[in-house]
Amino acid sequence: MNDEPLVLGIETSCDETGIGIVRGSTLLVDAVASSVDEHARFGGVVPEVASRAHLEAMVPTLERACRDAGVALRDIDAVAVTAGPGLAGALLVGVAAAKALAVGLGKPIYGVNHLAAHVAVDVLEHGPLPEPTMALLVSGGHSSLLLVPDVTGDVRPLGATIDDAAGEAFDKVARVLGLPFPGGPHIDRVAREGDRVAIDFPRGLTTGRDLDRYRFDFSFSGLKTAVSRWVQVRQAAGESVPVADVAASFQEAVVDVLTRKAVAACRDQGVDDLLIGGGVAANSRLRALAQERCDRAGIRLRVPRPGLCTDNGAMVAALGAQFVARGRTPSLLDLPADSSMPVTSVQA
């Protein structure tokens, strides 16, 4: 009989309703219902729309996950849920659902940190995390460098975005170029036909005093503005905009900074393993350049498959299973949904 913990994870921090079920470090199912199409006409995620979509999708997605995994709710050993950070209303839907399940089933509940879950999900793909691991998390809301001695209790921030996150910059530049929302996949696709050295866009916080003060921090606001102005100048002059070249050059500027700082952080901390997670980790150029630079530096690179990089319930279940396996005390039933939950608080 398998004695590994069977954990159900719930993720509702933004616009995906994710339900994941794992047994130990084995993924049984990863069910996701996305409301991205409902946000596309607004050019970004609308919190109230996201919250309502979670309410509508929660029960059907939960039922689908159990059916596909061949698991009954009574078989679950624990419930894990994203407690933060994220959109307050969206988080509340997931936390309320998790509490109801925990009470109804008489099972422990673990409120987990969304960012730590993005790190823990790689256990499902590549096995136990080396301790310590360096984690580069890049998404629409976060660009973070984290030293992770223990994903269940010791996550140390080394750097973060001071303005626009990488994914946010992708969305805004896509809008400038007339590409659909969300911008990341479309820029990645168009950039494959472009010249990534055609335009020398700026690399924020990589030189002089900025590098001294913000060694492992990120800034993409200036890059976004530079792209917008470059396009405006061309349009004002009546010239066509080479969308593929702009997309490729912009993308190269982003991934150059991300990978350069991640490798530098590994060297600085004496860490031999780099994990890249978050939605932008699905970007093909980021993966390729990270592999090149890690190979040259003698660093082992871990990147989950694209489906596990975006927000999902599997990552929450994976972290919850780590808590259970290590005997961590469950969260209290009055655990809050904390939209600004710091990454140093791995568990609510």
Measured between alpha carbons, how far apart are the two ends of the chain, in Å? Answer: 32
Binding site per annotation, positions: 114, 118, 137-141, 171, 184, 188, 283, 311
Both 164 and 280 in one domain: the answer is: yes
Both 88 and 192 in one domain: the answer is: no
Both 288 and 153 in one domain: the answer is: yes
Alpha-helical segments (H) within 106-165:
114-120, 123-126
pTM equals 0.95
Closest by alpha carbon to 346, among 141, 93, 117?
117
Judge whether 1 lies within some domain.
Answer: no
For residue 348, give both structure tokens: 């609510």
| CATH code of the domain in which 101 resides | 3.30.420.40
Write the pLDDT tens digit of every residue in 240-292.
999 999 999 999 999 999 999 999 999 999 999 999 999 999 999 999 999 99
Say whether the peptide bond before residue 5 is cis (omega within 30 degrees of 0): no
What number of other Cβ atoms are within 10 A of residue 333's Cβ?
11
Both 16 and 104 in one domain: the answer is: yes
Binding site per annotation, positions for substrate: 137-141, 171, 184, 188, 283
pLDDT class for 130, splitting at 50, 70, 90?
very high
Binding site per annotation, positions for Fe cation: 114, 118, 311
Both 201 and 251 in one domain: the answer is: yes
Residue with the larger pLDDT of the pair 2 and 87:
87
Write the pLDDT tens digit of every residue in 159-181.
999 999 999 999 999 999 999 99
pLDDT class for 200, splitting at 50, 70, 90?
very high
pLDDT class for 141, splitting at 50, 70, 90?
confident
Judge whether 333 lies within some domain.
Answer: no
Least confident of 25-39, 184-198, 284-298: 25-39
Percent of the chain with pLDDT over 70: 99
Q: Between the CA of residue 147 and those of 137, 158, 231, what are the distances in Å?
A: 11, 7, 38
Both 153 and 24 in one domain: the answer is: no
| Total structural domains within the chain | 2
Structural domain including 23 reads 6-121+312-325
